[in-house]
Amino acid sequence: MDVELTKQEIEQWVRETNEAALEELWRTADEMRRRTVGEAVHLRGLIEISNHCVRQCGYCGLRAANKGLERYRMSEAEILECAHQAVCYGYGTVVMQAGEDYGITRDWLADVVRRIKAETSLAVTLSMGERPREELETWREAGADRYLLRFETSDPELYNLIHPTPSARAYQDRMAILRDLRELGYEVGSGVMVGIPGQSYASLANDIDTFRDWDLDMIGVGPYISHPDTPLGRDECRKVIAPEEQTPNTELMTYKVVALTRLICPEANIPSTTALATLNLKEGRELGLQRGANVVMPNLTPVKYRALYEIYPSKACIFESSDDCSHCLAGRIRAIGREIGTGPGGRLRSNKKSSQ
Ligand code: SAH
């Protein structure tokens, strides 16, 4: 297949149902992955450092209005212990993720980042939501290497519907933060959910085309999973579109997006996500890795907090220990004939275009 896809061709592919054609898509994406980022699967240890959140995202179980959720915030000592575990397991990166929690202050997190950088050779990725630029700048100066902030959907109307006011900022504001992150010298990761109620095929194709425009370093895509304690889960804030235009939030749809993303952004680091593993515990991660992905994110969060980081229900691996996750994922990677990446595994810079 031709890998120089136009937006119209991307849309045809996201609508594709023919099995032989899809086999060709998987094969082409896997081949592109092998040629660009190689056989190494990079491991990013995920530490979910807080589930407090000021936002009201319509899909997410951490939203401030979800009063039924017990909240936690990890201590500096707990986080450092996880980082040292990451080193023991041979991971090259730790990802600290949280709800948008202003109890995590600029200086406190800067100190945690500085300590991780001083005590280990890990790359540090942050995913703290839409924090002010001066905080992002301080964390970057403290040594943070990368930042993840998904734009979730490139349809501004759908975006604004599922990120309600007053605490939300609009689609353009989120994109401005991605631009700030790039200016500050972070490697920038973004991504979308697949199958959000109200997301059309055309809008999903536009999401993938947006990845190309932004020349992202990391791109995470996972299926939308309905959470009963959220407005979207209760069907309260749905954008009305023709039913036949609605993208399904399925495994198959997610593989198509992973594969097309690899073809559109050949050098990006693309994870095979936990949300994908949640839909297919048996082989979701492996199929993601065989259809374009080159990263996995083993969970390092202490078991006592895991079930509380409930962005969606029945999340994979919430009862496993960090040790279990490490062994399980290493085994899965080797079983499909891939290597475990060493070192930080940053974005390749062979052909970097100027950023937007
Ligand atoms: N506060 C951070 C981290 C949010 S959780 C931030 O805003 O960036 C990380 C990702 O989980 C989100 O970007 C979203 O894409 C995904 N997520 C949240 N709720 C979800 C759901 N119900 N189904 C699938 N993915 C979800």
User: Is the CB of residue 188 less than 8 Å from the CB of residue 196?
Assistant: no
- Which of ligand 1's atoms lies nearest the C-alpha of 97? 3
What pLDDT, in 10s, does the model give residues 318-348?
Answer: 888 999 888 899 999 999 999 999 888 998 8
CA 46, 52, 58: angle at the middle one, nearest 5?
95
What is the chain's Cα-based Rg? Answer: 19
Residues 290 and 332: beta-carbon distance below 8 Å = no
DSSP state of 73: B
Q: What is the pLDDT of residue 157?
A: 93
- Ligand 1: distance of its center to the CA of 156 in Å? 17
Q: For 77-118, what is each residue's pLDDT tens digit?
A: 999 999 999 999 999 999 999 999 999 999 999 999 999 999
What CA–CA distance (Å, rounded) separates 240 from 54?
Answer: 27
Let me know: does 51 contact 62? Beta carbons within 8 Å.
Answer: yes
In a domain, 347, yes or no: no
Measured between alpha carbons, how far is 327 from 335 in angstroms, rounded to an integer?
12
Kindly give, in sequence order, each residue whose CB lies less than 8 Å from that of residue 94, ignoring residues fewer than 6 positions away: 44, 45, 46, 47, 82, 83, 86, 116, 122, 123, 124, 125, 300
Number of domains in the chain: 1
Instruction: State the DSSP code for 241.
Output: -
> Which of 52, 60, 204, 218 for a ligand 1 pocket mutation test, highest count of atoms within 8 Å of Cβ?
60
Q: Report how far Cα 116 is from the mean position of its chain's Cα atoms.
A: 22
Query: What tokens appear for 222 in the block?
Result: 């996972």
Q: What is the pTM of this model?
A: 0.96
CB 116 within 8 A of CB 78: no
pLDDT at 214 over 70: yes
What pLDDT is attached to residue 241?
A: 96
Write the pLDDT tens digit of every residue in 276-312.
999 999 999 999 999 999 999 999 999 999 999 999 9
Ligand 1 nearest-atom number relative to CA 149: 8
* Residue 67's CATH number: 3.20.20.70
Single out the residue of 157, 230, 152, 150 nearest to residue 196, CA to CA: 152
Inside any domain, residue 14:
yes
pLDDT of residue 23: 98
- Residue 225 included in any domain: yes
- Domain contains 37: yes
Q: Identify whether 166 is preceded by a cis peptide bond (ω within 30 of 0).
A: yes
For 196, left (φ over 0), alpha (ψ -120 to 50), or beta? beta
DSSP string, 253-272: HHHHHHHHHHHHSTTSB-B-
- Give me ligand 1 centre to Cα 13, in Å: 25
Query: Higher confidence at residue 69 or residue 316?
Result: 69
Q: According to the model, what pLDDT value does residue 343 have?
A: 86
Q: Residue 93 gets which letter from DSSP?
A: E
CA of 275 from ligand 1 middle (Å) equals 10
Is 27 inside any structural domain?
A: yes
CA–CA distance, 170 with 143 (Å, rounded to integer): 29
Going by pLDDT thresholds of 50, 70 and 90, the confidence category of residue 3 is confident
Query: What three-state secondary structure class fits 295?
Result: strand
- For residue 46, the model assigns a pLDDT of 97
- Measure 29 CA to ligand 1 centroid, in angstroms: 25
> What pLDDT score was predicted for residue 354?
41
Q: Which residue has the least CA distance to atom 12 on ligand 1?
A: 150
> Both tokens of residue 155?
């349809």
Residue 340 in contact with residue 327, Cβ under 8 Å? no
- The C-alpha atoms of residue 126 and residue 102 are separated, in whole angstroms, by 14
The pLDDT, as a whole number, for residue 356 is 43
CA of 83 from ligand 1 middle (Å) equals 22
224 domain-assigned: yes
Instruction: Report which of 267, 265, 266 is spatially closest to residue 349, judged by C-alpha positions.
Output: 267
Q: Which of 63, 136, 150 to mutate to test the pocket of ligand 1 (most atoms within 8 A of CB)?
A: 150
Name the phi and psi angles at 136, rounded to 5. -60, -35
pLDDT reported for residue 140: 98
- Rounded to the nearest angstrom, the distance between the alpha carbon of 19 and the centre of ligand 1 is 30
Q: What number is the average pLDDT over the span 162-179? A: 83
Residue 190 CA to residue 297 CA, distance in Å, equals 15
Residue 352 in any domain: the answer is no
Distance (angstroms) between ligand 1 centre and the Cα of 318 equals: 16
> Do 280 and 251 contact (CB within 8 A), yes or no?
yes
- Residues near ligand 1 (Cβ within 6 A): 59-60, 97, 99-100, 127, 129, 149-150, 152, 193, 222, 224-225, 227, 275, 311-312
The answer to whether 261 and 208 are in contact (CB under 8 A) is yes
Is 355 contained in some domain? no
Q: Do 55 and 261 contact (CB within 8 A), yes or no?
A: no
Ligand 1 centroid to Cα of residue 86, in Å, is: 23
Closest-CA residue, ligand 1 atom 19, reads 60
Token pair 């749809």 is at which residue? 253
What confidence score (pLDDT) does residue 39 get? 96
Confidence of residue 351 (pLDDT cuts 50, 70, 90): low
Ranking 22-36, 160-174, 255-269 by mean pLDDT, the lowest is 160-174
pLDDT, tens digit, 9 for 90 and up, residues 116-139: 999 999 999 999 999 999 999 999
- Ligand 1 geometric centre to CA of 311 (Å): 6
Range of the domain at 114: 7-340
Choose which residue among 62, 128, 193 to substitute to test ligand 1 binding: the one with the highest number of ligand atoms within 8 A of its C-beta.
193
Give me the pLDDT at residue 317, please: 86
